[in-house]
Amino acid sequence: MRRRRFPGRTVRRKPLAGMPPNRRPIPPKLREAHRLFETGEYEKAAKLYADLAVKAQERGFPQAPNLFLRCGVSWLKAGDLEQAQEMTMKGLGILAVRKKLLQLKKSGALAIERMKADGQDALAGEIESWLEAQVPEAVRGSDAWKKQASFNNRADSVKLPSNCSKCGGPVNPKEVDWVDAQNPVCAFCGVILVTEM
């Protein structure tokens, strides 16, 4: 005999193996921030990313550093170098505090690369010096620190989409985290990205 479901009662489903339970809905602000960035409205995008980053940090979400870093890129594009530096260092600082040193290396190198590409060598130099001070010398000399970021091997086996299907964020192989060898995660919303083999 089947049990009757009462109106208004939610059905609890067991999460799929390997998938995070209770996936949070994507905030509309995140989609809007990505859209504004893509259309060149960098200052408006930066303000939305900052708001999202602060809330993510307060709740301990792993995407907080990436949201601060995206905010930094937005301010860089908007021409506000002071805000760009502050937000970039905030994002990298969270990674340093959380002892995510390989991610710190990867994200720091990407931030420096973006600043140099934008002609901001002095700002890139300041970030580089700050990064060196955050990482203990013993860590900088370790094999784990010296070796290439692990995404290189994984990105060869799967084809990453150009944008996340859930939040619309850009997918950069240098920013993607991996649940396992076949499942990359969006840097901004944390969903598993749809890939091709």
**Which residues of the chain register pLDDT less than 50?**
1, 5-22, 148-152
Domains of the chain by residue range: 28-147
User: What is the pLDDT, as a whole number, of residue 24?
Assistant: 64
Q: Distance between CA 112 and CA 131 in Å, rounded?
A: 10
User: What is the pLDDT, as a whole number, of residue 139?
Assistant: 72
User: What is the pLDDT, as a whole number, of residue 11?
Assistant: 36
pLDDT tens-digit series, residues 128-158: 998 888 777 777 777 766 664 444 455 556 7
Q: DSSP of 97-124, one letter per residue?
A: HTT-HHHHHHHHHHHHHHHHHTT-HHHH
User: What is the pLDDT, as a whole number, of residue 20?
Assistant: 46
User: What is the pLDDT, as a whole number, of residue 91?
Assistant: 95
CA 107 to chain centre: 9
Q: Distance between CA 69 and CA 17 in Å, rounded?
A: 31
- pTM, two decimal places: 0.80
What is the enclosing helix (H) or strand (E) of 180? strand 177-180
User: What is the pLDDT, as a whole number, of residue 100?
Assistant: 85
CATH topology of domain 28-147: 1.25.40
